[in-house]
């Protein structure tokens, strides 16, 4: 069903949310996450700059395959950190590195190498991380617009607005959106593939347009990161659910094209090294308990960073799949997760690995809250407030900052409003549930916003 055209006030509201969330990411962009907290940012910029300047991928890596194939150049020390420089560096496909390196050069985030940073005739430039991270703001804006479009077409304008509010202010999402990692490019490509699939299934775009964009987004995502081949599986899931078996050809063709281009890149850079690195990457497979780690042990970059709100979002996602009528889009996210599990390469999954799932977690949480608002069911709302009790316990006994006090007393105010109106008529009760739900949602967003904005420990 085609959504109604947006009014001018609705456009202004969406623009306001985009500006607020954009500024929230820009504020403290170079300060948190702390530069060099993950050296993958340096890795991608070095790969891109070296490819653009010399046609050979040069960066750091500690994978054993390089030493075995004689591609190690030696160690250099940059800012107190030692990097093992390799040539060619084939840890990842090249597309995100090229994009990050090109932007870093345009933004003058790359300074010429000092004499101490030259090794075996190769210059290792110094990188201004804060300036290079400006690229992530552009990627966030694209992700925001695609996520809003997807949520609006799958649900409603109100659900879409709440979805992008959660995506814009949840602390884990904000911090990982600031990192120069390939998932920040594969995520908008994934959403673009789902958007065009959704529009095609609704009869609002031609088969040629769908096929072209499905092939392009799938191939481009795979050229950023191999695990993004799971995007093809998610699109195939949606097509199968809609009974469109013939169109499965397009995402499969995109995946095959991406693989072929990646193999060509490996051959061009050095086939023996490429094979050795593929073997080293395959040996890093850890196991199938990634969903447990995502739910119970999410990370902020490398560190432990449990988020109760994200746990509730996972529960909302599974709840939408099990009970909601319009659950195909969430089923596609779980299809992506199922394929992703086979690429798990560490016993402690890095925080940014969740980036492709954040849009669906925010959408599921928003859809659940909007459904509660429409029904205004007192028992269901009380169930949500009970689920929030662990968060309240945390801010009552662990965190005594100003925003924690606000969360605590707003929670109690919402409960008191329900108790007062529980003896009133049905209409008054429903109004109390809705006002309380709005209050708790607003305070939850503020509780996520406050520590990131002020640079507090999360």
416 lies in some domain: yes
Tell me: pLDDT of 245 over 50: yes
Tell me: the pLDDT tens digits for 83-104?
888 989 999 999 999 999 999 9
Average pLDDT estimate for 239-257: 93
Which tokens sit at 400? 């005594």
204 and 225, same structural domain? yes
146 and 110, same structural domain? no
206 and 317, same structural domain? yes
107 and 208, same structural domain? no
175 and 162, same structural domain? yes
305 and 171, same structural domain? yes
Tell me: pLDDT of 115 over 50: no
Where among 87, 116, 132 does a domain terminate? 132
pLDDT of residue 378: 63
150 vs 299: which has the higher pLDDT = 150
Domain count across the chain: 3
Answer yes or no: are the C-beta atoms of 414 and 388 closer than 8 Å. Answer: no
At a CB cut-off of 8 Å and minimum separation 6, what does 377 contact?
A: 433
401 and 274, same structural domain? no
227 and 186, same structural domain? yes
Q: How confident is the model at residue 4 (pLDDT cuts 50, 70, 90)?
A: confident
List the single range of 91-100, 220-229, 326-335, 431-440 with lowest mean pLDDT: 431-440
Sign of the torsion formed by the C-alpha atoms of 93, 48, 25 and 39: positive
Where among 73, 105, 132 does a domain terminate? 132
The strand pairing partners of 75, in sequence order, are: 84
pLDDT of residue 455: 63
Please state the separation of Cα 415 from the chain's center in Å. Answer: 34
pLDDT of residue 366: 92
13 lies in some domain: no
List the single range of 107-121, 287-301, 392-406 with lowest mean pLDDT: 392-406
148 lies in some domain: yes
32 lies in some domain: no
Average pLDDT estimate for 321-334: 78
Write out the residue range of the structural domain in which residue 224 sits.
134-365
14 lies in some domain: no
168 lies in some domain: yes
> Best-predicted range by mean pLDDT among 132-141, 310-319, 343-352?
132-141
Q: How confident is the model at residue 396 (pLDDT cuts 50, 70, 90)?
A: very low
pTM given for the model: 0.88
58 lies in some domain: yes
List the single range of 172-181, 352-361, 448-457 with lowest mean pLDDT: 448-457
d(C-alpha 292, C-alpha 298), whole Å = 9
> Best-predicted range by mean pLDDT among 11-20, 345-354, 364-373?
11-20
The strand pairing partners of 254, in sequence order, are: none
Q: How confident is the model at residue 160 (pLDDT cuts 50, 70, 90)?
A: very high
What per-residue string of b and e applies to 5-33 under the rule 16 or more CB within 10 Å gives b?
A: eeeeeeeeebeebbeebbebbeebbbebb
At a CB cut-off of 8 Å and minimum separation 6, what does 452 contact?
A: 24, 28, 32, 169, 171, 174, 175, 458
Q: How confident is the model at residue 383 (pLDDT cuts 50, 70, 90)?
A: low
140 and 115, same structural domain? no
161 and 57, same structural domain? no
Tell me: pLDDT of 119 over 80: no
**Closest to 2 (Cα-Cα) out of 156, 163, 202:** 202
272 and 287, same structural domain? yes
68 vs 261: which has the higher pLDDT = 261
Where among 132, 158, 188 does a domain terminate? 132
Average pLDDT estimate for 184-213: 94
Tell me: pLDDT of 430 over 60: yes
213 and 74, same structural domain? no
Task: Give me the chain's average pLDDT, please.
Answer: 82
Q: pLDDT > 90: what percent of the chain?
A: 40
31 lies in some domain: no
Q: How confident is the model at residue 113 (pLDDT cuts 50, 70, 90)?
A: low
């Amino acid at each position: 069903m085609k959504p109604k055209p947006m009014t001018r006030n609705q456009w202004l509201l969406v623009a306001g949310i985009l500006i607020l969330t954009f500024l929230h990411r820009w504020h403290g962009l170079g300060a948190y996450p702390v530069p060099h907290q993950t050296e993958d940012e340096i890795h991608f910029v070095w790969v891109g700059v070296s490819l653009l300047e010399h046609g050979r991928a040069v960066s750091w890596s500690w994978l054993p395959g390089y030493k075995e194939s004689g591609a190690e150049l030696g160690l250099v020390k940059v800012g107190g950190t030692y990097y093992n420089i390799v040539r060619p560096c084939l840890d990842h496909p090249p597309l995100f590195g090229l994009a990050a390196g090109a932007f870093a050069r345009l933004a003058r985030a790359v300074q010429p190498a000092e004499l101490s940073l030259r090794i075996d005739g190769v210059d290792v430039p110094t990188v201004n991380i804060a300036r290079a991270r400006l690229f992530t703001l552009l990627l966030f804006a694209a992700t925001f617009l695609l996520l809003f479009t997807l949520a609006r077409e799958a649900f409603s304008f109100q659900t879409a607005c709440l979805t992008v509010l959660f995506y814009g202010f949840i602390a884990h999402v904000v911090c990982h959106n600031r990192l120069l990692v390939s998932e920040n490019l594969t995520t908008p490509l994934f959403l673009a593939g789902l958007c065009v699939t959704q529009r095609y299934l609704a009869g609002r775009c031609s088969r040629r347009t769908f096929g072209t964009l499905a092939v392009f987004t799938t191939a481009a995502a795979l050229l950023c990161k191999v695990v993004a081949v799971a995007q093809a599986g998610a699109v195939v899931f949606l097509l199968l659910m809609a009974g469109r078996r013939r169109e499965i050809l397009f995402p499969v063709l995109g995946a095959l094209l991406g693989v072929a281009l990646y193999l060509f890149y490996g051959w061009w850079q050095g086939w023996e090294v490429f094979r050795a690195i593929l073997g080293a990457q395959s040996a890093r497979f850890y196991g199938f308990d990634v969903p447990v780690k995502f739910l119970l042990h999410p990370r902020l970059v490398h560190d432990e960073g449990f988020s109760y709100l994200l746990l509730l979002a996972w529960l909302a996602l599974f709840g939408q799949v099990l009970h909601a009528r319009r659950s195909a889009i969430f089923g596609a996210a779980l299809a992506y997760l199922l394929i992703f599990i086979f690429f798990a390469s560490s016993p402690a999954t890095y925080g940014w690995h969740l980036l492709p799932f954040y849009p669906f977690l925010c959408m599921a949480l928003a859809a659940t809250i909007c459904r509660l608002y429409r029904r205004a069911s007192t028992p269901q709302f009380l169930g949500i407030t009970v689920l929030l009790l662990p968060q309240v316990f945390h801010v009552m006994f662990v965190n005594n900052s100003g925003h924690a006090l606000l969360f605590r007393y707003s929670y109690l105010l919402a409960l008191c409003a329900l108790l007062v109106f529980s003896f009133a008529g049905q209409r008054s009760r429903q109004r109390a549930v809705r006002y309380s739900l709005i209050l708790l949602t607003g305070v939850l967003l503020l509780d996520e916003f406050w520590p990131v904005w002020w640079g507090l420990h999360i």
